[in-house]
Structure 1
């Protein structure tokens, strides 16, 4: 009789022991150890810093990125075309909007949870643990010192953050317009901190009876001055973008741009959008977050271009049209920033970690150095092609599970969620099999 090779005999012997009492329990325990070792190895080898993952067309200039952070570890980084960090600012708490004011100054929107002992009344003695300090900061690039700040407190960070502000100049004097999510308002201040005008959402819309003043009603998350006296605002929970027309006396007229223009309205073309940008010809470029796409509308509200889909993006929150017709996208839950070419294909990508919120391409010019969408061409002007990559429903849910786990686990360990879950399941099965074998 021909004998089996040694390795096959060992495998046959091992399989025969599975049938012995407790054999299957030992097998499942061994598989659990293999899965755990895989997860730990993946965690140990996960890059600690941003890294370049796609480099088909490297940009000419650096990219400024605001990292919100999953657990109060927000920061601002500037990465080179090679994906190397060349500048960094560790901000307080979460980081949202970032803009290059000039070659020496960066504007940063922050939200930080502070203890009750540092909170003013009524937040110091309410029933909420701590409060949030929202601050718009101007940061010196050379020293990373905060050289100017406008701040206020609110009841808590969740759904009460400062997500965006826009700096503009009137008669040579800088002004700042801010969206206050927690108080459902938009307001502008000058450099001394004096309030110039304010619009409250309750001036125009009726808050639902079952929603209190601390509820997440409008979720205002973006504001841009698009021309003198006209400010574009994103009402995320209305799935709507509006214009605020501010008169000299401070009165405000609201004009809807796109969307149902009401809370929980009829289904519209947007679903919990971020960072709408007005292009030079009046088109609107929007990060349509829950639809996992970047979409462009013409002045009639018709879709003229789109890119993404759940097979490509996962909750993108910023899209900027660059002057060359490419589109810079902050792909938040995929923890990366990517550049799309004229065909909607990824030609440059940096894996950032820490939940990126916004990215701007930095240009070496004065006074403004952030290459935003206003200078970029529309899809029709640049003859861009749409590109939607559909993903599976199961895959979307699995990606969501990984994203949620990053709020409680270290980022690198959360990336190994599937192996960790397999470890837990296999250990559970091994325990059951061991109990049966007694």
Structure 2
């Protein structure tokens, strides 16, 4: 007898439109196209352990479910956010029961990067024994977040954000199957696709919001203006502590180093728009000035520091303009990593070298005993010498010679520094009888 009082919940649009077959999947053609890795894996007749790595809303869970369907396996999903070793063991007991009934099990762990080492280790013996086929999903780089032992037993597949054309195809499918009453003008489609930002689930969730807003307003034609008023704007795809974060800060740094002001501005604005801490960005901008510009343009350090101080005083959004102008200046400034390289070489030398004594002529002599021992006796006061330079003097410990760590580049102010260093070397050569 049916339960007349039981009300089935309406599934979210993202669940209602979840692909039932591999051919219905939109996107990931580099993995699912004819002759591509995942397509071949499905056609092999035998499932294998894998890790699906990609941004949110690109089909990781869908592919895991399709794998279970394709190989007629039981599907046990776990979320690493809510599950622990106890849940893993319970899943393995269920897998053992499935095996006794002649059914293989696929264990799907969503957000596998959130499992700690012991939790990931708990999966190993079951994956190795073949009791389950393990499929993990992650938005983080698995080479950093997944134990090497588990990583070595799973094939990693990299999923990509959906393109604009793929999102438009998904929009058309949603309209055809569920939302035929919604009509979008061309500008509205572009706005909606922009908000989705490569995320299929976000697109479908936005469509649900639009559906509710349409019912409340009575609007029949969806325009871009209606969308901007009706939708809750979400931040762009961005993870303040994840792989995407470090990819973007890397792109910002390399744009500055590559003298691309537009590229630097783009990545700075992407990170600000995505919620990155402007104070963190200001610190990185100061670091860029010292690492990639250095003494080729000393104004770069001043501008970077001034921008950081300006942001600290004004906050957002006013202070963000200072950061933007700082990255423009850094991008167009003369570039030099000579000081950066010299520092790294000197540090590397000191770390592996022995503890050398300070030469006697460089030591201070505040006491009578120290003077009697010759401390500072042969020191030459540079200001009393021609050109304020003690030609031929040495300032390194005995046995080091001339390491030549600092080699100025022929750009910006450093070209003048190089001329000065060459002149001083000529004075040394004269003093040492080498000319």
TM-score, with structure 2 as normaliser: 0.22
TM-score, with structure 1 as normaliser: 0.22
Q: Which structure: larger Rg?
A: 2
